[in-house]
Amino acid sequence: TPVCQQYQLHSSPAAYTPDCSETSLASLNKAREAHQADLIIGVGGGKALDAAKLLAHQNQLPVVTIPTSAATCAAWTALSNIYTEAGAFQYDVGLTRCPDLLILDYDLIQTAPKRTLVAGIGDAIAKWYEASVSSGNATATLTIAAVQQARILRDILLQKSATALENPGSEDWREVVDASVLLAGVIGGLGGAQCRTVAAHAVHNGLTHLPAAHDTLHGEKVAYGILVQLRLEEMVQGNQLATTARGQLLQFYKTIGLPKNLNDLGVGNITLAELQQAATVACNPQSDIHHLPFPVTVEQLMAAMVSTTVDTVKEQAMVDS
């Protein structure tokens, strides 16, 4: 590029394909060695940025992230997810620091499909529903600050997302992009281990093991996962607040186009065995689902996964009786 030429910087492009996997990372490391790179620049979506961050982390190099959509907060988090070459989630890696520089170009973000921002909203709004559970009764100042930021993030998204999506490039649109990419990333940095992901991301991880779910975006799976988490809180705890929250989210999802059930995710025709496979992955011993304040069985999770749109008014009546 002209800027690189101006400062006599020599770049060498490399792709993370087929996925942000151990094999791809090994290939990228070879490319880094051949180029003798002293800086990693990640350009693209969440997986490209995760690969760039992890490559930099493994080699103790600075990293710059340039997101091409607002579909995730990967550009600003100290975390990378590793998948199989087929796209199934394997594990995540905590990094020692956030990216050294994030370049958020609104004009570039605006060229991405509308669906990517909708997915980013789904991924970001999960911060409240997960952090408010995983933080428990934490008293650490930064944890409390992170949870409150997550609440503010939720409110911004609930209030401004519909208008933002109708008016790309507007002030509301920029605020929603900032919330989805920047504020969502900051919450993870502030809260750290005390503001972990919980059931919503665990459900996402389970769904990645189903080939039929690979056509949906990360944030779309996570958004559906929030409903599953709330459903678990209703079913296992009899939590009335969870019922109310699910009703609010169902209306919000309908307005902006987030998936409310398996059918909306394009996996309404999966077999019972496939549903069980996804639930089993989501309930594995290392899963974040165990940050819920109650144990969850595979059978309970399966029941929650197929009942995300059950009538909230009837559920409330059953709880009250």
CA distance 43 to 219: 19
Residue 57 near residue 93, CB atoms below 8 Å: yes
Backbone angles phi, psi at 92, to 5 degrees: -115, 160
- Residue identified by tokens 């003798």 is 36
Residue 225's nearest CA partner among 210, 211, 206, 242 is: 206
b/e burial code for range 140-175 (CB count within 10 A of at least 16 → b): eeebeebbebbeebbebbbebbbebbeebeeebbbb
Better pLDDT: 6 or 239: 239
Q: Which residue has the tokens 């996570």?
A: 222
Residue identified by tokens 């990094």 is: 95
Task: Say if residue 283's pLDDT is above 60.
Answer: yes
Whether the pLDDT of residue 54 is over 90: the answer is yes
Enter the pTM of the model: 0.94
One-letter amino acid of 320? D
Q: C-alpha distances in angstroms, 185 versus 120, 182, 188, 294?
A: 12, 5, 6, 27
Tell me if 79 sits within 8 A of 124, measured CB to CB. Answer: no
Q: What angle do CA 221, 285, 274 make, to 5 degrees?
A: 45
Amino acid sitting at position 272: L
User: Do residues 51 and 24 touch, judged by C-beta distance below 8 A?
Assistant: yes
- Span 6-53, pLDDT tens digits: 888 899 999 998 899 999 999 999 999 999 999 999 999 999 999 999
249's CB contacts (< 8 A; 6+ apart) are: 125, 226, 227, 230
Mean pLDDT, range 46-68, rounded to an integer: 98
State the span(s) of the chain assigned CATH 1.20.1090.10. 114-196, 197-321
- List residues with catalytic annotation: 123, 201, 204, 218
Tell me which of 117-121, 187-191, 282-286 is least confident. 187-191
Q: Does the domain formed by 114-196 have CATH 1.20.1090.10?
A: yes
* Cis peptide bond N-terminal to 295, omega within 30: no
Report the alpha-carbon distance of residue 145 to residue 153 in Å, rounded: 12
Average model confidence (pLDDT) across the chain: 94
Domain ranges in the chain with CATH number 3.40.50.1970: 2-108
The single-letter code of the amino acid at 113 is P
CATH 3.40.630.30 fits 2-108, yes or no: no
Give the per-residue pLDDT at 315: 60
Q: Which amino acid is at 241?
A: L
Return the CATH fold of 197-321: Dehydroquinate synthase-like, alpha domain (1.20.1090)
